[in-house]
Amino acid sequence: MTGCDDFRVRQVTAVDTHDAAQLLHDFNQEFGESTPPVTTLARRLGDLIDGGDTIVLLAGEGPEGVAVVRHRRALWSEGREAYLAELYVRPARRGHGIGRALMKAVLTECRRLRADTVEIGVDEPDVAARHLYESLGFSNRVRGTDGPVMFVYELDLRSDE
Amino acid sequence: MTGCDDFRVRQVTAVDTHDAAQLLHDFNQEFGESTPPVTTLARRLGDLIDGGDTIVLLAGEGPEGVAVVRHRRALWSEGREAYLAELYVRPARRGHGIGRALMKAVLTECRRLRADTVEIGVDEPDVAARHLYESLGFSNRVRGTDGPVMFVYELDLRSDE
């Protein structure tokens, strides 16, 4: 893939998922979430990439950032619908445009897939991420900028077993 | 499938999607959204069901309500992640528990699929739906009920072509 801004962004193949798994593992550890071992995550990422519905992008030397996109056929159109499942940049490297470079590559890939829409779930206090997404045209309001906000509702089925 | 509450809920097969397509078509028309013709929607629903990542449920005689669930392998667990893409009950039949019957059947199917999580995108003013989801344990706050709210951010890639 071509570079975005000053950071090289590259797409991960199913047999080269270790660096992406390490970043995702560190992501969850930073936010106090449980995470599988890196080797487990690496194998699962490989399975998802092989399954054809997942794109994983890495940015920077190191690498220093990762994005995971899931996609599937849409219901309301002939195209696909994409979902940014994860976006992470190492804390020491934030504020240098790595997240923006990743997001530009994400949108390039989504267009290539003929995705009609891209969705992201974002926590309210995550202001830096929200500003990044808004600067790229994303909105958390119905029909763009003038409607009411849209919430993510979630149920964890494991907690009621 | 077994009935839920007083309403029979049944799962749609790939060759019997017309009624579900009609309801989804009426759904979008009610809210002033563009919608493909019913025959197009019916064919697409059949393709999605055949693809193995989509469950469509109908409730009531008529039928009077429809739910569409998409699902895929999860990243953070060995299970699956489910997404309630659509839930609709005909206006004249609302307030009788059809939506609740559909949602109970949705959760039964999600557990059967070994989904670990179920997500829904909900507009803030859609109070009846939010109450329904909350009564079933869904939350729009991080880690259940005590965290900040979670927003859906969306970008329509068709609008910038």
| pLDDT for residue A87 | 98
Q: Quickly count: other Cβ atoms within 10 Å of residue A134's Cβ.
A: 14
pLDDT over 60 (residue B152)? yes
Q: Is B152 a domain residue? A: no
Q: Is A142 a domain residue? A: no
The HSE-up count of residue B57 (CA atoms within 13 Å, CB side) is 32
| pLDDT for residue A143 | 82
Q: How close are the terminal C-alpha atoms of chain B, in Å?
A: 44
Contact A65, B38 (CB under 8 A): no
At what angle are helices A18-30 and A38-51 packed, to 10 degrees? 120
Q: How close are the terminal C-alpha atoms of chain A, in Å?
A: 44
Tell if the CB–CB gap between A107 and B149 is shorter than 8 Å.
no
The HSE-up count of residue B149 (CA atoms within 13 Å, CB side) is 12
Expressed in percent and rounded to 5, the helix, strand and coil fractions of chain A are: 35, 30, 35
Its sign, for the CA torsion A91, A88, A43, A56, is: negative
Q: Is B72 a domain residue? A: yes
Residues paired with A29 in a beta bridge: none
Q: List, for residues B36-94, the tens digit of each pLDDT value.
A: 999 999 999 999 999 999 999 999 999 999 999 999 999 999 999 999 999 999 999 99
pLDDT by position in tens, chain A (length 161): 444 446 899 999 999 999 999 999 999 999 888 899 999 999 999 999 999 999 999 999 999 999 999 999 999 999 999 999 999 999 999 999 999 999 999 999 999 999 999 999 999 999 999 999 999 999 999 987 789 999 999 999 997 55
pLDDT over 70 (residue B4)? no
Structure tokens at B73: 């392998």
Q: Give how far A81 is from chain B: nearest CA, Å.
A: 10
Q: Quickly count: other Cβ atoms within 10 Å of residue A97's Cβ.
A: 19
Q: Is A132 a domain residue? A: no
Average pLDDT over residues B142-150: 88
Q: Is A86 a domain residue? A: yes
| pLDDT for residue B3 | 44
Average pLDDT over residues B104-131: 97
Average pLDDT over residues B108-127: 97
Range of the domain at A64: 9-120
Residue percentage of chain B with pLDDT more than 90? 89
Give the global pTM. Answer: 0.94
Q: Is A78 a domain residue? A: yes
Mean pLDDT taken over chain B: 93
Q: List, for residues A8-55, the tens digit of each pLDDT value.
A: 999 999 999 999 999 999 999 998 888 999 999 999 999 999 999 999
Q: Is A27 a domain residue? A: yes
How far is CA B124 from each of CA A52, B50, B99, B146, B154, rounded to the nearest angstrom?
A: 34, 33, 18, 18, 15
Partners of B68 on chain A (C-beta within 8 Å) are 75
Contact B130, B122 (CB under 8 A): yes
Q: Is B55 a domain residue? A: yes
Chain B residue with Cα closest to A51 = B73
| pLDDT for residue A160 | 58
Q: Give how far B36 is from chain A: nearest CA, Å.
A: 7
Task: Return all residues near B40 (Cβ < 8 A) that are at least 6 apart.
Answer: none
Number of compact structural domains in chain B: 1
CA dihedral A73, A52, B85, A136 (to 10 degrees): -90
Task: Return all residues near B34 (Cβ < 8 A) that are at least 6 apart.
Answer: B28
CB pairs under 8 A between A and B: 169
For residue B48, the domain's CATH number is: 3.40.630.30
